[in-house]
Structure 1
Amino acid sequence: MKQKISLVALAFIVVLLSACSAKDSFEKVAESDYQWTGIAVSGEGRIFVNYPTWQLASPFKVAEIVNGKEIAYPSEEINNLFVCVQSVVIDKLNRLWVLDPANPQFKGVVEGGPKLYQIDIQTNDIVKIYNFPETVYTPTSYLNDVRIDTKDEIAYMTDSEDGGIIVLDLKSGSSWRALNSGCPAVLANLDGIDFKSTGKSKGITNSDGIELSEDNQTLYFSALTANILYQIPTSVLRDTMLVPEERCKEVSVLNNKNVPTDGMVLYNNSLYMADLPNESLWAFDLKTKEGRSFDFGTTIRWADSFAVGADGYIYFTTSQINYPEKERVQYGIYKFKPQ
């Protein structure tokens, strides 16, 4: 009897140790010779990516991944309309949004300014193009990420170069700079990021990652070169009677021990994002206000943008921004099942 109990106990210990030592896992979906940043996954599982106009020239601005291959989207002709696409997003109505900061190689916003494109993925046609007045962006602005409130038809965007949050009323087409660089929350608070593989960087990037709460009532955001996660009621951002200084007073700290991250995505009450210094991923539970590190047993070379698929997986791109070009491998799209 004692021997049987001992064997049962031993088996339990083995299972427990195996569970404790098990690493998180992810799988590769696609790879490319060209640097991509944004990713969007439709309700049918179609995958869209974008390629910023930075250093290495890409034949694509926006592409769809079909059978693991990149195909210009919606077409090669329309790709030529884009200047420097930084973000692609699928909203709850299964519409594709393409954010073009029109600032190639960060040399300044070109004539015509930034644009937000709405694309019907069923017909593959551009439905609408939103332009921004010069009161909303600066000559050096770089509109970085976007989220869509499909209930009130509002778009929220970050300016990662100058620091700021821009709001666009999709019904009227009017837009305004809701928060500007006078608000510390949209600015970097670190002098660089110390990557485990490549060392300390000197680059400074302001407000970057952005996400909406499930009810669209709260906007979460963070600067890239920062370790603080913020939140603000979207009603404050939408109130055009307020000035940026008044809105800034309504910003609150959600986590003052966050990880420097690029993009972020909400899934089951947790914000999933990059852990850039440790070249891994991080999740912040909005209920418990606790963070969790992932251990994939391998280096993730700058997880850039995230998207949730209808299959329950979270998809992300790697952009390898902290690596010299000669040390880069192929850029990847990966997916993992959040626990």
Structure 2
Amino acid sequence: MLFRSSVFPHQSALRVALATAGICLLAGTQPAFALHMPKVPELSASALTPAIKSDKQVWDAIVPLPDGRFIFEAPIWVGNTPPQLSVRAQDGTFSPYPSESWNALDGDASQRIVSAAGMFLREDGTLWVLDSGVPDHKATAVAPAKLIQIDTKQNKVVRTVVVDSTALHKESILSGVAVHDDTAYVADSGVAGILVIDLKNGTTRRFLDRHPSLMATRPIVTPTGPVKTAEGHLLAIDASMIAVSPDGKWIVVQPPGGYLSRVETSIFTDPDVTAAAFEESVTQWFKTPSLGGMTIAPDGTLYWSDITTGSILSYTVGRVPRRLITDPRLQWPATPGLDNAGHLYVPAAQLDHTAAFTHAAPTVSWPVTVYKLTLPPAPLAP
């Protein structure tokens, strides 16, 4: 997940965002309106166990592989040293992924990860890695943004897809990627918007540019209070989290300080859609707290990392919210990873204690820990 510091928008922007957000009515047995998030967690502390630790890097995302390996993202913008991507083998050893050269600090930018900004694993073992090209979020890009396709079975880069610069703004910081078939959906956290990238021909189109629902409209709140910039302003970050439904029919997207929105993907390919229809296509899907990351399960259930209360939340396709667990060990829980055996792996990233947030010496409490959560059974259908 990527961040950019700016002055928090005026309250008028918040009123506009809320006025343009609607609640979608669903057919069948699904509730027409979202239920409130329960205040009491379903699981006790014993359901959350330490799984993997690091005394050198802050991980903000994890991808479990079917063969028992794990891939970790350690973004450089928070003060990490390389590698930005690493893999943990079944014997517990770590190595740069997919190679040391792809994690080099300098050299040909087209042949290395400049600034890791998100990962997405396909069922066929393809890992798509987003490289924003912005290693310092107080500065502009130093290299073109790109998507890197990695074959996790052969552990090698298959190809790269460069993001068309005409779809970006000078202040753009791409953050978060979701892929379905031959289409990648990428969020812009620097200047709110959604990029739709055709992975076959490499074309990029920008949609919902500066749409109010994709812009930061609330403070990012941790248990100790709102996160602020070095100048004392509330930190504002536009859309940085994105997921696509298993059938590819819709995406959900959210700023860390904003609410979850849903968009039907058919609108991106409709040649007859009007500008007004685009503006109205974004549906407010849930009034979430401040989030540190999200992932989606094969059945469409969303899993959220709530940084405000240190919780893991879930949200079914039928719009049923669940508070799975709340635990003080989940300090800024980041993007979780789901394995094939009903376990969620959550990095307690402590991002607000890194140099990027403290604006001074980092105050991370080592080790940074990834916790394993055994998921409870799905709720019964209404």
Corresponding residue of 1:207: 239
Q: Which residue of 1 aligns with 2:375?
A: 338
- What's the CA shift for 1:286? 2.6
Point out where structure 2 has 5 or more consecutive residues left out of the alignment.
Answer: 1-40, 105-111, 228-233, 377-382
Give the CA deviation at 1:47: 1.0
Does structure 1 retain, via aligned residues, the 8 Å contact 2:309–2:326?
A: no
CA RMSD of aligned residues (A): 2.2
Contact 2:329-2:348 within 8 A present in 1 as well:
no
Give the C-alpha shift of residue 236 in structure 1. Answer: 1.1
More strand by share: 1
Distance 1:55 1:20 in 2: 33
SS of 1:86 mapped into structure 2 = strand
Equivalent residue runs for 1:1-339 within 5 Å = 22-23=44-45, 25-32=47-54, 33-66=56-89, 67-80=91-104, 81-150=112-181, 153-181=182-210, 183-190=211-218, 192-196=219-223, 198-201=224-227, 202-226=234-258, 228-239=259-270, 242=273, 246-255=277-286, 257-267=287-297, 268-287=299-318, 289-323=319-353, 324=358, 325-339=362-376
Number of residue pairs the alignment of both structures matches: 313
Whether the aligned pair in 1 keeps the contact of 2:239 and 2:256 (CA below 8 Å) is: yes
Distance, in Å, in 2 between the alignment partners of 1:51 and 1:21 is 29
Cα displacement (A) at 1:269 = 4.1
Structure showing greater radius of gyration is: 1
Amino acid in structure 1 at the alignment position of 2:120: V
Q: Distance in 2 between matches of 1:244 and 1:82?
A: 36
Q: Which amino acid aligns with 2:76?
A: T
Q: Which has the higher contact order (CA 8 A, sep 6+)?
A: 2
In structure 1, C-alpha distance between the alignment counterparts of 2:247 and 2:352, rounded to whole Å: 35
Output one character per residue of 1:247-279: Cα deviation in whole Å (capped at 9) or x when no partner. 232111112x22221321223442110111112
Q: Which amino acid aligns with 1:168?
A: I
Greater CA drift, 105-114 or 94-103: 105-114
Question: Structure 1 pair 113/244, CA: closer, same or farther in 2 (3 Å)?
Answer: farther
Deviations 1:217-256 (A, max 9, x none): 0101111111x2111111112446657664232111112x
CA distance in 2, matches of 1:111, 1:240: 35
Native 8 Å contact 1:51 1:86 kept in 2: no
Change (3 A) 1:261 1:22: closer
Which moved further from structure 2: 231-240 or 137-146?
A: 231-240
Query: Against the structure 1 CA distance between its residues 195 and 119, is the aligned structure 2 distance closer, same or farther, given a 3 Å change threshold?
Result: same
1:114-142: CA deviation from partner (whole Å, max 9, x where unpaired): 01000111222211101112211122211
- The letter for the 2-side match of 1:25 is A
Look up the equivalent residue of 2:49 and give its one-letter code. Answer: E
Give SS of 1:29's match.
Answer: strand
Gapped regions of structure 1 (runs ≥ 5): 1-18
User: How many percent identity over aligned positions?
Assistant: 23
Whether the 8 Å CA contact 2:134–2:143 is kept in 1: the answer is no
Amino acid at match of 1:186: L
Tell me the CA shift for residue 316 of structure 1.
Answer: 2.3
Amino acid at match of 2:263: I
Higher alpha-carbon deviation: 65-74 or 135-144: 65-74
Structure 2 length-normalised TM: 0.76
Q: Give the partner amino acid of 2:246.
A: E
